[in-house]
Amino acid sequence: MNTLSYKTKSASKESTEVKWYVVDADGEIVGRLATKIASVIRGKHKPDFTPHADMGDYVIVINADKVRFTGNKLDDKEYTRYTGYPGGLRRRTAKEMLEKRPNQVLELAVKGMLPKTKLGRAMIKKLFLYQGGTHPHQAQKPEPFNF
């Protein structure tokens, strides 16, 4: 009797090849772009995706200040944070966030799509956001990511 034994290979952080991608966010919709970036950072675009391993790739986003919202979200969407003091709830609309902290709009969108664990906190460090059209990561030889 010939019994074949197949073992499922579980990928690990050490066994994966890490790449660098560059994304131009000029004119892109925030949520749609964030889902694609989160998928790449998490590693879901790879055939050997393993949920418990950090096997994603690095993503460089240029022109992060030129993202856009659809509908009335620019005026209606609010970002809230709490200072830690009584009555310390602070609110900003999406329009104010794009004026004062344009990188944080996309960063918060991607961060919300990653796991809320130690693994997720390690994954968000693979995201690099820049307001202009240039970035200092030429040595990593990033390739454009085609969605």
State in Å, rounded, how far the first CA of the chain is from the last one. Answer: 48
Beta 89-93 vs 78-82: how paired, if at all? antiparallel
**Confidence (pTM):** 0.89
pLDDT at res. 7: 78
pLDDT at res. 3: 65
CATH superfamily of 20-144: Ribosomal protein L13 (3.90.1180.10)
**Count of CB atoms situated within 10 Å of the CB of 110:** 26
Question: Helix, strand, coil proportions of the chain in percent (round to 5)?
Answer: 35, 20, 50
Distance CA 110, CA 62 (A): 15
Please state the separation of Cα 119 from the chain's center in Å. Answer: 13
Sequence spans of domains, the chain: 20-144
Burial of 17 (0-12, 13-18, 19+ CB in 10 A): exposed
- Sole residue written with tokens 């994304």: 23
Please state the separation of Cα 77 from the chain's center in Å. Answer: 20
**Count of CB atoms situated within 10 Å of the CB of 7:** 5
pLDDT at res. 20: 97
What residues does 82 pair with on adjacent strands?
A: 89
pLDDT at res. 70: 96
Low-confidence ranges of the chain (pLDDT < 70): 1-5
